[in-house]
Amino acid sequence: MLILSLVVAGIFSYFTLGVDLFPKVDVPAVAVLVSDPGASPQEIETEITKKVEDAVNTISQIDELRSTSSEGQSLVVISFDLSKNGDVAAQEVQNKVNLIIPNLPQSARPPVVEKFDPDATPVLQIAVSAPRSLRDVTLIADKQVKQKLENTKGVGQITMVGGARREIHVLVNPGKLRAYNLTVTDVFNALRQQNLELPGGNLNAGAKEFTVRTTGRVTDPAQFNQITVATRNGYVVKVADIGYAEDSYEEPRSAARLDGVPAVTLVVAKQSGENTVATADEVKQRLKEISAALPRDVRAQVVSDQSVFIKASVESLREHLIEGSILASIIIFLFLANVRTTLIAAVAIPTSIISSFALMAAMGYTLNQITMMALTLMVGIVIDDAIIVLENIYRFVEEKKIPPMEAAVRATREIGLAVMATTLSLLAVFVPVGFMGGIVGRFLSAFGFTSAFAIAVSLLVSFTLTPMLCSRFLRPAMESADAHRSKESFIFRHLDVHYTRMLEWSMAHRRAVVAGSVLVVLSIVPLFLFVGKNFLPADDQSQYNVRVRTPEGTSLAATTNLTERIAQDIRKLPGVAHTLMTAGGGPDRSVNNALIYVRLTDSSERHFSQQDLMQRTRELMKNHPREIHTGVELVNAVGANDTNADIQYFIQGPDLEKLAALRPTTWQDEDHSQAGGR
């Protein structure tokens, strides 16, 4: 009943587990974003960034403080020691930033403090395109797609890139302004004061009460021309007297192109702690319903879907888990040559693995590469204890002629200490992994605890379920002249003969055996130095990113045209399905930074690997001007669109002009060999 209760709990827990690529990791990092439209980078640095840095620098356990001052925006990223609680760090940063708000420029917008959460990363990129004006496409993407997807279960935030929202422009004639002795500020104040809707209090009418509001907001763009600006010599000067209003769109600060066609990109990020696969499936199902109601010429297409690789990865590990269990049972049968004993030993695999799902649910784990790898590895380990106990019970029955019921008790008691010692030695290996420190420990914690729980359950199975099954279903060979004992099988005799010879030779040449063992141990050091090392494996995800940075001061249109030419060359490569180019969509909103998301066909449909295509893309970058800095890298599975370059370094100094002059000299070799692929 004890094992059955664990198995039942594991079965029900399995259906509640989420599916993700990696375990949830809390990285204590906080970003402070302050916008001041129109301010130069130098003003942003002295008036905003420096004040924010001085304020947050007094917080304890800061590991790194980085800032970026660009036109109209300040971004300060504070990284803390891993021992710092991320929520506490975010609150402390918020408190410090609130103290300096009165000291910021009046034109600056309120600071935005955001905690870095790797679990709340984008899972989908949806491109909305149509043969219409960009303003119309933006309106459809916002009203008919974005707003309807935002209430989908698991969706945390949807960011729009490449759109142009509606905006009313009032164009004035400088000559007419001077004629009426007016300034642009006068026009601005008149528009702001006369385009309002304010509460007017309450009106009592007997037993009823009415709420009164002043409806002064302009609803028709043409009505802006009738707004009064000032009175000159009894004449009412209106907007129409000094200019005119037009129904237009805001100045684009970002752009998107899907396979060269202008589009509006919707980046869908999931809520922290939500199931990535379930959220992506919900959004895609909802998008399918929304697409049916869109105009026929409007197309909403999912370009990037992180759940595809996650599904394939977890499904592959699940298949390996099942195949490993079957192969382990077959190997046991080859040695035991008995169906009953094979089934008794093999039952330890599903009971231990399924029971582990209960712990995973209790610990808040998900089915990801780390936990599934742990369960797959445990297939060959959890069965060891059951085999040891089973073999000893069978020996009591076969050699000592003891009934199975009594043999199960006596044999388990005899071998129990050795089995427990074996299990505890394994636990001593995997339990400390669960308590590892550092960023690697955050990822491998789930691996250690999942493995340890499966091993602990296997010990429980070998002491309870295995003896019970042996006492009920174990049948010794019948005593007859032709009967053969289990140790007389062909495989056992073959192993016995060769093992005996090897043992005799080893005992006769002890020095050689010891010397060989020492050489094997010493070879660990050179082998460790030669083997490749990486934080995450370079899997073929059928996608990669190309980052493009044009010189400072490049306009959005120039950046878009240049980056689209690069994307056009990439689309000519074999195996490339789609390219999604976004300019000005990064965290700093710089119009000279662009990103090309390259979607490849499935690995089974192309003859080149992802790494081969990435290298060919780097070769293409050599054909572009040297002042255009590019980088070809894997899609970051943890930090969304954050850079995932293998090597990153900074050049520091107090003089920006000297740094700018030093940069080309420092990167000359890298640009020549990698075409800027840093």
- The CATH code of the domain that includes 344 is 1.20.1640.10
Same domain, 10 and 149: yes
Q: Which helix (H) or strand (E) holds 512?
A: helix 510-522
Domain boundary among 191, 218, 249: 249
Same domain, 276 and 195: no
Q: Which helix (H) or strand (E) holds 75?
A: strand 73-80
Tokens of 430: 């995997």
Which pLDDT value is given to residue 482?
A: 46
Q: How far apart are the first and last CA of the chain?
A: 59
pLDDT at 297 over 80: yes
Which pLDDT value is given to residue 638?
A: 60
b/e code 2-13 from CB counts within 10 Å (16+ = b): ebeebbebbeeb
- Mean pLDDT, to the nearest integer, of 480-504? 72
The CATH code of the domain that includes 195 is 3.30.2090.10
Better-predicted residue by pLDDT, 480 or 400: 400
pLDDT at 653 over 80: no
- Determine the Cα–Cα distance for residues 637 and 634; give it in Å rounded to an integer: 9
b/e code 55-86 from CB counts within 10 Å (16+ = b): bbeebeebeeeebbbbbbbbbbbbbbebebeb
**CA within 13 Å, CB half, 10:** 19
* Range of lowest pLDDT (21-35, 105-119, 478-492): 478-492
Check if the beta carbon of residue 415 is closer than 8 Å to that of residue 385. Answer: no
* Cβ-proximal residues to 367 (8 Å cutoff; 6+ apart), any chain: 17, 18, 19, 20, 314, 360
99 within a domain of the structure (yes/no): yes
- Determine the Cα–Cα distance for residues 583 and 451; give it in Å rounded to an integer: 45
Q: What is the chain's length?
A: 678
Only one residue has tokens 């390996």, namely: 320
pLDDT at 552 over 80: no
Same domain, 239 and 306: no
538 within a domain of the structure (yes/no): no
- Determine the Cα–Cα distance for residues 250 and 165; give it in Å rounded to an integer: 6
What's the pLDDT band for 521 if we cut at 50, 70, 90? very high
pLDDT at 675 over 50: no
pLDDT at 641 over 60: no
Nearest to 676 by CA among 662, 659, 664: 664
Q: Which residues pair with 236 in a beta bridge?
A: 231
b/e code 529-563 from CB counts within 10 Å (16+ = b): eeeeeeeeeeeebbbbbbbbbbeeebebeebbebb
pLDDT at 678 over 60: no
Q: Which residues pair with 439 in a beta bridge?
A: none
292 within a domain of the structure (yes/no): yes
- Mean pLDDT, to the nearest integer, of 180-190? 88
| E-assigned strand segments in 149-285 | 155-161, 166-172, 197-205, 208-215, 228-232, 235-238, 243-249, 255-258, 261-262, 264-270
- Mean pLDDT, to the nearest integer, of 235-258? 86
525 within a domain of the structure (yes/no): no
DSSP helix/strand/coil, 514: helix
Nearest to 355 by CA among 247, 483, 461: 461
- Mean pLDDT, to the nearest integer, of 336-357? 85
Whole-number CA gyration radius for the chain: 34
510 within a domain of the structure (yes/no): no
Nearest to 321 by CA among 14, 666, 593, 568: 14
Q: Letter for the amino acid at 632?
A: V
Same domain, 314 and 374: yes
Better-predicted residue by pLDDT, 605 or 455: 455
* Range of lowest pLDDT (259-268, 372-381, 645-654, 669-678): 669-678
Same domain, 310 and 430: yes
DSSP helix/strand/coil, 420: helix
What's the pLDDT band for 486 if we cut at 50, 70, 90? low
- Determine the Cα–Cα distance for residues 83 and 78; give it in Å rounded to an integer: 14
Domain boundary among 431, 460, 477: 477
Nearest to 194 by CA among 233, 246, 243, 230: 230
At 355-365, the pLDDT tens digits run 989 988 888 88
Total Cβ atoms within 10 A of residue 105: 14
Nearest to 461 by CA among 393, 361, 383: 383
**CA within 13 Å, CB half, 161:** 27
Which pLDDT value is given to residue 508?
A: 92
The CATH code of the domain that includes 622 is 3.30.70.1430
Better-predicted residue by pLDDT, 518 or 669: 518
Q: Which helix (H) or strand (E) holds 583?
A: strand 576-583
* Range of lowest pLDDT (5-14, 523-532, 665-674): 665-674
pLDDT at 656 over 90: no
Same domain, 62 and 16: no
Q: What is the pTM of this model?
A: 0.77
Which pLDDT value is given to residue 584?
A: 83
Quote the domain boundaries for residue 35.
29-115
Same domain, 568 and 650: yes
514 within a domain of the structure (yes/no): no
pLDDT at 42 over 80: yes
Using a pLDDT cut of 90, give the percent of the chain over it: 12
Which pLDDT value is given to residue 502?
A: 92
Which pLDDT value is given to residue 671?
A: 44
At 412-454, the pLDDT tens digits run 888 888 889 989 999 999 999 888 877 788 888 889 999 999 9
Same domain, 3 and 47: no
pLDDT at 143 over 70: yes
At 364-400, the pLDDT tens digits run 888 888 888 888 888 888 888 888 888 888 888 877 8
- Determine the Cα–Cα distance for residues 359 and 102; give it in Å rounded to an integer: 50
Which pLDDT value is given to residue 453?
A: 92
Same domain, 351 and 450: yes
- Mean pLDDT, to the nearest integer, of 326-339? 81
pLDDT at 516 over 90: yes
- Mean pLDDT, to the nearest integer, of 78-87? 86
254 within a domain of the structure (yes/no): no
At 265-279, the pLDDT tens digits run 998 988 877 788 888
Same domain, 184 and 161: no
What's the pLDDT band for 670 if we cut at 50, 70, 90? very low
Which pLDDT value is given to residue 93?
A: 92
pLDDT at 343 over 90: no
Kindly report the average pLDDT of the chain as a whole number: 84
Same domain, 267 and 307: yes
pLDDT at 471 over 50: yes
At 196-244, the pLDDT tens digits run 777 777 888 778 888 887 777 777 778 888 888 888 888 888 888 888 8
Better-predicted residue by pLDDT, 589 or 290: 290
499 within a domain of the structure (yes/no): no
Same domain, 548 and 472: no
Spacing of C-alpha 349 from chain mean position = 32
Largest CA distance in the chain: 132
Q: Given CA atoms 41, 46, 51, 56 in this order, what sign does their dihedral have?
A: positive
Q: Tell me the angle at which helices 369-399 and 306-336 cross, rounded to the nearest 10 degrees.
A: 10
Check if the beta carbon of residue 379 is closer than 8 Å to that of residue 31. Answer: no
Total Cβ atoms within 10 A of residue 314: 20
Domain boundary among 220, 249, 278: 249
Number of domains making up the chain: 4
Name the DSSP letter for residue 234: T
- Give the CA angle between residues 547, 553, 556 to the nearest 5°: 60
Which pLDDT value is given to residue 663?
A: 58
Nearest to 463 by CA among 338, 330, 352: 352
Q: Letter for the amino acid at 128?
A: V
What's the pLDDT band for 487 if we cut at 50, 70, 90? low
Better-predicted residue by pLDDT, 296 or 480: 296
Which pLDDT value is given to residue 517?
A: 93
